[in-house]
Structure 1
Amino acid sequence: MPAGFSVTTIQDTPANAVVDGITMRLLKEGTAEDPSVVMELTFAPGAAFGEDRHARPEILVVTEGVLSDGHADHPKGSVVVGSPGSVHFPRSADGCKVLVVHPAGV
């Protein structure tokens, strides 16, 4: 492994319940030197997060299924960028997986 790199595998990272029907795998924790956070969220069919309001930027990459945000449906391959002050209502009718990046931390 080259200096300055680290590797984490999604399948080797434990899943923790966030809300009913949604689990999270924390792939990269923020630090003082690098506050960015990376996680994978898995939505079971019908799972909903409720209101999700952001003080910092958020980048979502839909890797499986369809993510709905209360305004539109975003299929696999969609990249959804939320700016500070944005609000959405993440849910998935049929289930989905989403890679979430918080570049400035959470």
Structure 2
Amino acid sequence: EKNESEFSEPVTINYKKSGPELSIEAPRDGESVSGPSPYNISGKTEQDTTVTVNDFQAIISGETWSYALTLKDGENEIKVVSVDLAGNKTEKIIKINYSP
């Protein structure tokens, strides 16, 4: 009896050491904003990543992401995290002031 088997399906391995590019386009760090809440938080990242805003899944279209975040009156800290297929992550935190 031969000790052989069928070929396995190909496996894709993503190897990358650095986290994905991540920018927060709006609002800017330290900005004072007003208007209706939820407020649209948006920016750019690399393709094939997941993005969370304060631990909520953002909507991604190509390299653009956005999330409608409910803000509280006063200072709000916004944490945005982008994770690529290899598990590398980039995190940015901004603070904005909100008045309804």
Structure-2-length-normalised TM-score: 0.30
Which of the two has greater strand per residue?
2
Structure-1-length-normalised TM-score: 0.29
Name which one, 1 or 2, has greater alpha-carbon Rg.
2
